[in-house]
Structure 1
Amino acid sequence: MTKSITDSPAAAVQAGMAGGLALAIVGAVLFSTKAVVAKLLYRYHIDAVTLIAFRMLFSLPVFAAVGIWQMRVGPPLSWGDRWRLIGMGLIGYYLSSFLDFLGLQYITVGLERLILFLTPTFVLLISATVLKQHIGRLQWLALALAYAGIVLVFLHDLQGGGNVVLGSLLVLGSAAAYAIYLLASGEMVRRIGALRLVAYAMCVSSAACLIQFFLLRPAGMLVQPAPVYWLSLVNGLLCTVAPVFMTMIAVQRVGAGIASQAGMVGPVSTLFLGAVILAEPVTAWQLAGTALVLAGIWLLSKVKKSA
């Protein structure tokens, strides 16, 4: 009996690559959808403190379960690593998420996603200014393209009035905080593993968000209309837990480079989801700005890959 072509090692590798790419794309779309869900939650007159508390309340059990499992199968952490994890959880997932949700109160989901997509450029700029790493000519071109796209969309949204400047600065702070987390996590992720690092950092972030809520808001604010609970469940599980693990599996199957390039679907999906669900207009200026940002990040990923 002849062996089926689908049973060959090459076919298995190709299927694994296709599955990994699909996971990376779906993960990017789900993670980007959190901005749309947040906008829907704000219609029920809750603030960012309450929104992020509900998000972490629903995602914490999953990350805590993974953290406990990793604690049992992995070697014990040193006190130094524990303190680093606390700091990374507070910066990368608490501060970054909180600033992001604060900014979403004032700007469109399309602009928010584009600003967050500048995270790799912040990593590059911090590496150049703090770590004194050299930035090549093509990297400067990538930065110029990406920031030109942001300026284009920003100037377009500024015409609509409101606190666009404040919202954009808050989301810029979110992107910068996450860039610091990525730089700090590089060495640790190699030593303790991505799954363990993310689970522990998310548990720290969840604890911080819940403590913040009970310090700043009355416990009675936990009583909300049913749609708030359902949307928060979607925010916590489908827009937080699922994309985290999907992206990790995708990186294992196809590599960080391909997974990050697949993530470029995020800003585009957010732009059109905002139009369909939130009735936010999609204009030629926004499409042009999105194209510039994606071109800049794509070029930056190519430069980093060849470096």
Structure 2
Amino acid sequence: MKIRNKQLLGFLVGILGIVLFSSKAVLVKLMYKHEVPMITALFLRMLFSFPFYVFILVSSFKNKNTTKITNKELLWIIFFGFVGYYLASLFDFIGLTFIKASLERVILFVYPTIVLFLNAVFLKQKITKQQLLATFVTYLGIAITFGSEISVSNDNVALGGFFVLLSAITYASYLVGSGWLIPKIGVVHFTSYVMVVSCLCVFIHYFITAETSILNYSWEVYGLGFLIAILATVIPSFLVSWSIKLISSSNFAILASLGPVSTIVLAVIFLDEYLSFLQLLGTLIVIFGVLLISRNKK
């Protein structure tokens, strides 16, 4: 595949994955309206996701070209499964119990700068002027888009924001790790392994702490859990890993700044939130920032 086509495919795949991932916050808030505890919502997400990851993982073993995983790589997989999807999801779901979806996206998407920093420190990757410019433009757009959403009166907003920030840090660590592990292990194997690990972590957490039966909810709750699992977890997790392989974790991290814009559009549709002129302007600025990084590097 030519470099130009590879880059374009990587950006398109990444954008689709980001939009689907962004739907998670809206779906979780809809589930919380049914008075579902945080750990139950997270459990339903992983419960419906688990069979798909196991099936995909088992099916991939039939491929004779599958790369054998070393003990060291297996330990890294377990670590990133625990940190990148279990802890990141746990912190995010906790944060969403205190703050609204749009504010959650603002805080969560500080992780592109964390990714760039971690790549520069641990993987010795140089931060280019183009990446710095794209980062500035996209964050300027995010600030404008969500500026009117920051004013809140809930006393627990600071606590919720702290947990979402922890989610951003742990997810950034996962992205950095996946940036060098995916080429060695492969997109399907890596994603399936880390998601199986994270599902098992959530299952253990649920059975230790849950105080209510999983069978006591309406069909809407299970339907939302299924949508979170498939549309906002299984499908985008593979799309994101594929995109990272094609365009690198640093470029994907900046591209992912589209996430907050996607979230607020979905929130307008499903949560009846208002989109102001300034927010529309911010959306256009974010899109412009993404276009900057879609240009081929010289």
TM-score, normalized by length of structure 2? 0.81
**Amino-acid identity (%):** 35
Cα RMSD for the two superposed structures: 3.5
What secondary structure sits across from 2:273 in the alignment?
A: coil
Q: Which runs of 5+ in 2 are unaligned?
A: none
| CA deviation profile, 1:123-155 (whole Å, cap 9, x unmatched) | 112233455654455544444444444555565
8 Å CA contact 1:24, 1:250 repeated in 2: yes
Tell which structure's C-alpha radius of gyration is larger: 1
Could you list the per-position Cα deviations for residues 203-234 of structure 1 after superposition, in whole angstroms to 9, with x for gaps in the alignment?
00000011111111136244322211111011
State whether residues 120 and 297 of structure 1, in contact with CA within 8 Å, keep that contact through their aligned partners in structure 2. Answer: no
Q: Tell me if structure 1 keeps the 8 A contact 2:106–2:146.
A: no
Counterpart of 1:268 in structure 2 is: 261
> How far is the alpha carbon of 1:78 from its aligned partner?
2.0
Cα pair distance change 1:292/1:105, threshold 3 Å: farther
CA contact (8 A) 1:275 1:281 kept: yes
Q: Which amino acid aligns with 2:29?
A: K
Shift of 1:278: 0.5
Is residue 105 of structure 2 the alignment partner of residue 113 of structure 1? Answer: yes
Which residue pairs with 2:171 in the alignment? Answer: 178
What displacement does 1:93 show?
A: 1.0
My pick for the range that moved more, 242-251 or 210-219, is: 242-251
Instruction: Report deviation, 1:21.
Output: 7.4
Equivalent positions of 1:147-158 (< 5 A) are: 147-152=139-144, 155-158=147-150
Contact 1:93 1:205 (8 Å CA) reproduced:
yes
More deviation in 183-192 or 145-154?
145-154
Is 1:123–1:183's contact at 8 Å kept on the other side of the alignment? yes
Q: 1:1-307 maps to which residues of 2 (within 5 A)?
A: 25-73=15-63, 74-131=66-123, 133-152=125-144, 155-162=147-154, 163-218=156-211, 220-247=213-240, 255-256=246-247, 260=252, 266-296=259-289, 298-299=291-292, 301=293, 306=297
Cα distance, 1:18–1:86 mapped onto 2, change above 3 Å: closer
The change in CA–CA distance for 1:197 and 1:238 in structure 2 (over 3 A counts) is same
93-102 vs 279-288, which moves further: 279-288
Letter of the structure 2 residue corresponding to residue 124 of structure 1: L
Q: Report the CA distance shift for 1:284/1:112 in structure 2 as closer, same or farther (over 3 A).
A: farther
- Secondary structure of the 2:153 match is coil
Unaligned runs of 5+ in 1: 1-13
The 8 Å contact of residues 39 and 206 in structure 2, kept in 1 or not, is answered as yes
1:60-108 residue CA offsets vs partner (Å, 9 max, x unmatched): 0000111222345334422212111100101111111122222222333
